[in-house]
Amino acid sequence: MTLRELLKSLHAVDEKHLDVDVLVSPASGGYRGISHVSVLYVGHAVIHFEEPKPQEPPDLWAGSGEGDSVAAVSPDDLRKVWQLFRDVQARAGGEHCGASIDIRSFQRVCSPGANAMAAWYRASMLAVMQKFPESPLTPWTHNGDLDDAVFQVAATFPMKKMAVGVEQEGLPLDVEEFVKQIGTR
């Protein structure tokens, strides 16, 4: 809805005043109880609009259960999500393309009922490990593709969920143990 439509619907001002230039003042500075932006019409009433309330970042894990642990997924679903990463990357022009993928795309490539968010997260951890200067996945990487052993281990290996806005030192998994388990396959 435009301001014009809003004002017309509220019958707040006469038709002749709808195209008058307005001055929008900043939010009231620091006074408790006053949190608004004022639209000032010279010689006319002041209309107050509330500022949007700051919102918490969305919880990507809402309703996923499992506490702080990332749910296990099937190796096939993980492989399909990984392949989707690679396909989008190739179409967007390379390694650092900055493309984004909607969660529904992950859901489409996963088997029915699969936890696409967990598959995305696990595939993301693999992608991060590949970006390390000395990638621990190098022995199992061939032309950007990963060996089956990597997907077999990564699908169920214990990983912690990372929360939005919380600083993390290192990856949310034991990389040494992860690599050790891949090596035994």
| 131 & 92 share domain | yes
Say yes or no: 38 and 81 in one domain.
Answer: no
Top-confidence residue, 40 or 64: 64
The total number of structural domains that make up the chain:
2
Q: Do 37 and 85 sit in the same domain of this protein?
A: no
User: Is 57 a domain residue?
Assistant: no
Q: Do both 162 and 93 map to the same domain?
A: yes
Q: Are 112 and 23 part of one and the same domain? A: no
Residue 155: inside a domain: yes
Alpha carbon distance 23, 80 (integer Å): 53
Please tell me the predicted confidence (pLDDT) of residue 93: 72
How do residues 112-146 score in pLDDT, each as one tens digit? Answer: 999 999 999 999 999 999 988 889 999 999 988 99
Q: Quick check: is 66 in a domain?
A: no
In this structure, are 11 and 87 located in the same domain? no
Do residues 64 and 144 make contact, with C-beta atoms less than 8 angstroms apart? no
**168-174 average pLDDT score:** 89
Cα angle, residue 184 at apex, residues 181 and 185 outer, rounded to 5°: 95
83 CB contacts (<8 Å, ≥6 apart)? 109
The proportion of the chain whose per-residue pLDDT surpasses 70, expressed as a percent, equals 61
With respect to residue 126, please indicate whether it lies within any of the assigned structural domains.
yes
Is-contact 69 57, C-beta < 8 A?
no
**In this predicted structure, what is the pLDDT of residue 180?**
96
If asked whether residues 105 and 23 sit together in one domain, one would say no
- CA distance linking residue 185 with residue 183, whole number of Å: 6
Backbone angles phi, psi at 62, to 5 degrees: -55, 130
Q: Are residues 95 and 40 in the same domain?
A: no
Tell me: do 8 and 97 sit in the same domain: no
**pLDDT digits over 9-35, tens only?**
655 555 555 555 544 444 444 444 444
pLDDT at 108: 94
Q: Which structural domain, as residue segments, surrounds residue 11? A: 3-50
Q: Residue 55 domain-assigned?
A: no
In a domain, 44, yes or no: yes
- The pTM assigned to this predicted structure is 0.66
